[in-house]
Amino acid sequence: MDQREQVTIYEVGPRDGLQFESQFFPTDRKIELINLLSASGLKKIEATSFVHPKAVPQLRDAAEVMARIDKQAGVTYSVLVPNLKGCQAALASRADEFTLFVSASPTHNRKNVGMSIADSLAGFPEIARLASEAGKSLRGYVITAFGCPYEGAVSLDNVRRIMEVYARLGVREASLGDTTGMANPPQVQRLVAELRRGFPEVNLAAHFHDSRGTGLVNTYAAFAAGVRVFDSSIGGLGGCPFAKGAAGNVPTEDTVNLCEEMGLDTGVDFDKLLQAAALVREVLGRELASGTSRVGRPRWSPGGQGESHCLPA
């Protein structure tokens, strides 16, 4: 039996990744991508968003995507839900988990969803009630948890206020978003320690964007502080279209590699993950940000013998 400690890789590529692409990723290819990701052993996949199609045109096919993916047993497919209208659309879909989101920065929240933080939070209880009646689990983002591209430092009180609402509504997991890669490792350790102490009932996840090359070092800092769920995106795609300086999430391939090299069990089959990366590269017609999919896993890793662990030329 595998005695290694398990960690969860929470794949956000189909949502965070594709929302930021300038070209529309065709619906059939999105479905193919999600199916390949499910086949790779990933157990959590953020599949799409039920937001306004004019705000995020890349995900305007959310209902069709959710209707046509091959859902695998044991895989949780989550969707972003900003408000009641999004919740109704999510309820009509086959989503397993609804993900709330609100920014700790008032300026960014307004740019993102056109509301104050208080108005975002005021809409959540009804969504939580409907989700719970329908047997859906709840996840929640604290966006700009480590800093805002417009305001700079964010108020810890705002972060706590959001966490309090999540805890009260039974949100099972809160993901701390470093929306534009402003976090540093000591800061990550301090915030995680503070929130683990204050909200022991809410599992914490880490969601790092790599605008400044600090994504994986922050992932390690979050791990050292006790986090065991890491959001990442296939090929390192991603970014919030409403945040200045947005860039991709930490790549899933590199996150899986880091965790496995550290002796952790991600449950992900790396070769199968590369099939998903190959599809993304083919559709977008460009090299991906993931180093591991270019040069492969280290040679001493199981199966890490070079070519079979690199994308085909």
Q: Give Rg (Cα) of the chain.
A: 18
From the list Mg ion, ligand HMG, none, which binds 259 (C-beta under 5 to 8 Å, kind-based)? none
Nearer to Mg ion, 11 or 16 (CB): 16
Token pair of 153 as six digits: 């430092």
Point out the residue whose Cβ comes nearest to ligand HMG: 177
17 DSSP 8-state letter: I
Task: Sort residue 135 into left (φ over 0), alpha (ψ -120 to 50) or beta.
Answer: left
Which residue among 8, 13, 15, 16 contacts Mg ion (CB under 5 A)? 16
- 26-65 binders of ligand HMG (CB under 6 A): 49-52, 55-56
Minimum CB distance to ligand HMG, residue 240 (Å): 4
Alpha carbon separation from 125 to 83, 86, 119, 132 (Å, rounded): 10, 14, 11, 10
By CB under 6 A, tell whether 248 contacts ligand HMG: no
Q: Are 294 and 287 in contact (CB under 8 A)?
A: yes
240 among known catalytic residues = yes
Binding residues for ligand HMG, rule CB under 6 A, total 25
Q: Are 249 and 16 in contact (CB under 8 A)?
A: yes
Please identify, among the stretches 3-11, 68-76, 106-114, 152-160, the one whose residues bind ligand HMG according to the rule CB under 6 A. 106-114
Of 87, 240, 259, 310, which is the active-site residue?
A: 240
- Rounded Cα–Cα distance for residues 17 and 250 (Å): 10
- Rounded Cα–Cα distance for residues 160 and 21 (Å): 32
- Rounded Cα–Cα distance for residues 241 and 209 (Å): 13
Minimum CB distance to ligand HMG, residue 202 (Å): 16
145 DSSP 8-state letter: T
307 DSSP 8-state letter: G
By CB under 6 A, tell whether 207 contacts ligand HMG: yes
Token pair of 293 as six digits: 């999919």
Measure CA 204 to chain center: 12
Please identify, among the stretches 11-19, 130-138, 193-201, 216-224, the one whose residues bind Mg ion according to the rule CB under 5 A. 11-19
Minimum CB distance to ligand HMG, residue 269 (Å): 26
Kindly compute the dihedral angle of the four CA atoms of residues 202, 233, 80, 160, in this order, to the nearest 10 degrees. Answer: 30
Minimum CB distance to Mg ion, residue 144 (Å): 10
- 168-197 binders of ligand HMG (CB under 6 A): 177, 179
From the list Mg ion, ligand HMG, none, which binds 296 (C-beta under 5 to 8 Å, kind-based)? none
Nearer to ligand HMG, 143 or 216 (CB): 143
Binding residues for ligand HMG, rule: CB under 6 A, are 16, 19, 49-52, 55-56, 80, 82-83, 85-86, 101, 112-114, 141, 143, 177, 179, 207, 209, 240, 242
**Which residues form the catalytic set?**
240
The residues of the shown chain that bind Mg ion, judged by CB under 5 A, are 16
